[in-house]
Amino acid sequence: MGKHIAGNPTFVVENMPGAGFLISANYMYKVAKPDGLTIGHFIGGLFLQQLLGKEGIEFDARKFEYIGVPAQDNYAIGISKATGITSMEQWLASKTVIKLGGVGVGSATDDIPKVLKEAIGLPTQIVSGYKGTADVRLAFASGEVQGVCNAWESFKSTWRKELDSGELIVVVLTTAKPHPELPKVPLAISFAKTETGQKLIRALVHSVGPTARPYVLPPGTPKERVEILRKAFMETMKDTEFLAEAKKANLDINPLDGAELEKNVKEVFNLEPALLPKAKEILK
């Protein structure tokens, strides 16, 4: 990114682990100087946790300055062909309860299906507590669970065998827009028959993928510096050298600029106050 900024500054990476990225997010809000010289990166799931009143959050996500995200996750639900269900319409009509593997509260594997259960009546049971989606895949192979909510990008790389053999069928996308690689897979929101259901999906589900990997600046960073870094970030995302490195590492690059990222973060907080208790109950 430095080569896309005047003077070609050097970037130094400093890891700040702990409390599920909460330490680094709080640091960016409370301690880091708003001079454009410190960029923060943590999981975007913290934005939703702020809305839900998670203990330990000392930031207001609406006040960060946003640079962008290098990749957006397009979440989908894949289920086993052994269930006999091959489409979302069939699943909803049959009312067959399908066990989906989960990693834990706050993870998309758990949170998205929970919201869909409430919003569209998705017949599912979350079997949570797996260490990661690799363990969920092992549980899927043994028949312990029958599916998972996962990023399409992850399905393509780590569930390739199951996809190619037809053992795993992607039945629904939980994104706001269709995915070009999954043109026949319907959107979850199209099955929401109530306004409340649609609002829950927009605020709690559609915001997950685009905000998953944010790069931020402290509140109060001068706007001209924000714009310099936003421009450099997006130029980096098109840089041939950078793209070659990403390809070598099997990383999908699907960027979102700072302005769009900011818009998506604010969408999380657009949930009507009256629906907040329901959201807390769903995602507890």
Predicted pLDDT of residue 4? 94
Residue 37: CATH number of its domain: 3.40.190.150
Predicted pLDDT of residue 162? 97
- Domain with 196, as residue range(s), is 75-204
Core vs surface per residue 64-76: b (16+ CB within 10 A) or e? bbbbbbbbbbbbb
The count of structural domains within the chain is 2
**Residue 20: band (very low, low, confident or very high) from pLDDT cuts 50, 70, 90:** low
Q: Are residues 83 and 37 in the same domain?
A: no
Torsion-angle region of residue 172: left (phi > 0), alpha (psi -120 to 50) or beta? beta
DSSP SS3 for 138: helix
Measured distance CA(190)–CA(89) in Å, rounded: 11
Amino acid in position 229: L
- Nearest 5°: phi and psi at 126? -90, 125
CA distances, 21 to each of 6, 34, 44, 166 (Å): 31, 20, 10, 37
Of 185, 204, 223, the residue at which a domain comes to its end is 204
For the ranges 44-58, 123-137, 245-259, the one whose mean pLDDT is highest: 123-137
90-108: average pLDDT: 92
Q: Are residues 139 and 248 in the same domain?
A: no
- Range with lowest mean pLDDT among 58-67, 164-173, 184-193, 260-269: 260-269
Q: Are residues 215 and 138 in the same domain?
A: no
- The average confidence (pLDDT) of the chain is 93
Q: Are residues 59 and 42 in the same domain?
A: yes
Percentage of the chain surpassing pLDDT 70? 99
Q: Are residues 96 and 109 in the same domain?
A: yes
For the ranges 102-106, 158-162, 246-250, 263-267, the one whose mean pLDDT is highest: 158-162
Identify which of 130, 172, 151 has the alpha carbon closest to the alpha carbon of residue 141. 130
**Residue 104: band (very low, low, confident or very high) from pLDDT cuts 50, 70, 90:** confident
pLDDT in tens, 41-88: 998 888 988 998 888 999 999 999 999 999 999 999 999 999 999 999
Q: Are residues 92 and 175 in the same domain?
A: yes
Q: Could you tell me if 102 and 249 are in contact, meaning their C-beta atoms sit under 8 angstroms apart?
A: no
Q: Are residues 101 and 189 in the same domain?
A: yes
Measured distance CA(176)–CA(119) in Å, rounded: 15
Measured distance CA(202)–CA(192) in Å, rounded: 11
Of 155, 189, 204, the residue at which a domain comes to its end is 204
91-114: average pLDDT: 93
- pLDDT over threshold 80, residue 261: yes
Q: Could you tell me if 188 and 174 are in contact, meaning their C-beta atoms sit under 8 angstroms apart?
A: yes
113-131: average pLDDT: 96
Q: Are residues 95 and 157 in the same domain?
A: yes
- pLDDT over threshold 90, residue 271: no
111-134: average pLDDT: 95
Measured distance CA(83)–CA(196) in Å, rounded: 30
Predicted pLDDT of residue 186? 98
**Residue 16: band (very low, low, confident or very high) from pLDDT cuts 50, 70, 90:** confident
Residue 182: CATH number of its domain: 3.40.190.10
- pLDDT over threshold 90, residue 89: yes
Answering whether pTM is above 0.85, one says: no
User: Which residues lie closer than 8 Å to 62 by C-beta, 6 or more apart?
Assistant: 265, 266, 269
- pLDDT over threshold 90, residue 191: yes
Q: Could you tell me if 234 and 256 are in contact, meaning their C-beta atoms sit under 8 angstroms apart?
A: no
Q: Are residues 79 and 199 in the same domain?
A: yes
142-159: average pLDDT: 94
Predicted pLDDT of residue 36? 95
Q: Are residues 65 and 96 in the same domain?
A: no
Measured distance CA(178)–CA(187) in Å, rounded: 7
Of 176, 204, 232, the residue at which a domain comes to its end is 204
Q: Are residues 64 and 88 in the same domain?
A: no
Q: Are residues 52 and 96 in the same domain?
A: no
Measured distance CA(17)–CA(8) in Å, rounded: 28
What residues does 147 pair with on adjacent strands? Answer: 79, 100
Identify which of 284, 264, 91, 117 has the alpha carbon closest to the alpha carbon of residue 192. 117
Burial class (CB in 10 A: 0-12, 13-18, 19+), 84: exposed
